[in-house]
Structure 1
Amino acid sequence: MTWYQSLLVSICGGVVAGFVTMWLSLRRFYRERWWQRRFDGCAAVIESLHDQKRYSDILWGEEAEGKEYDADFKNAAAIRSGDGARLIRRYADLGSLALPDEVAILLTTYLKEREAKPRFDTFQEYLEDQKSAETTLLSKVAPAAVKGLGLSRTWRNRMLGT
């Protein structure tokens, strides 16, 4: 083999190796980016549920327990709760594009159940139902997110408290 043939073989091998490396690196990059988006979606949904639950707790404290809260504090909680409700609806509409399948199903089911609820006789009954639904959903979303994101067993044990 002459020197130019061995040079040509080396260049071709280097080009092929470069393309394979680039392809594998881009594939990993996009897969990690997709995972990060789903993780961010789950974190945003859990935070929004927490904000809604906090506002329900404030309303419950005023209605059932006779507590009084600062108006600015209550208004800030109401704004965060409203923003959280909009974010939950958006993520439910995005579904599996932005969240793991199980989390998307939980959100969609929650919203359908909330829309199908009958009118309540008192505001206190409504708050009891709302608090119960938010607590139940919050307790289901975190483990479903951990499972859907494929996090390690250590994460699962921390989230489930085992």
Structure 2
Amino acid sequence: MRYRIPALILLLLTAASCANVGRFAQVMNPEELSKDELKKLPPETTPEYGFRVGMEVNVPGNKDEILENVDYQFTEFSDCLNITDRGEEARRYTIAVVDGTFRCEYHHGRCNGEYDSDYGLIIVSYKAFNRKGILPVLKHEWAHVYGILRNDHKNLNEVRECTGY
């Protein structure tokens, strides 16, 4: 009897975490991306702000849901930070949506978002391990685009309320 309760707890924890097992594997072995290939993704345009969004074919989400979510997130972001250009600065970049964690120069080589002005890209994971919702770091990357968030992240706490990360 005394072994059944710990075994049951372990079983419940394992079952509850199964949804994250795939994401955990992606975090441990992030995808290698080609920014040149991401720039070639056929762009879709968001209905409200006209952002260009390219999506890898393996992204599991519904295309229209993703496009609407990008507009929704920008409305929240711009309202919170009093951005009044209706996305003009952000429209200079293509938002590339990828399936999971990818290799990058930051965060010990594992990223769920990256702003690259040289390539004209904002790269974001559709979902991220241990983060809620879709495109969970998009607002964070927009904060870089608008120069609100420093590249060294030393002012991250000042913008976290508006970026969620």
What is the TM-score normalised by the length of structure 1? 0.32
What is the TM-score normalised by the length of structure 2? 0.31
Greater helix fraction, Structure 1 or Structure 2? 1
* Structure showing greater relative contact order (alpha-carbon pairs closer than 8 Å, 6 or more residues apart): 1
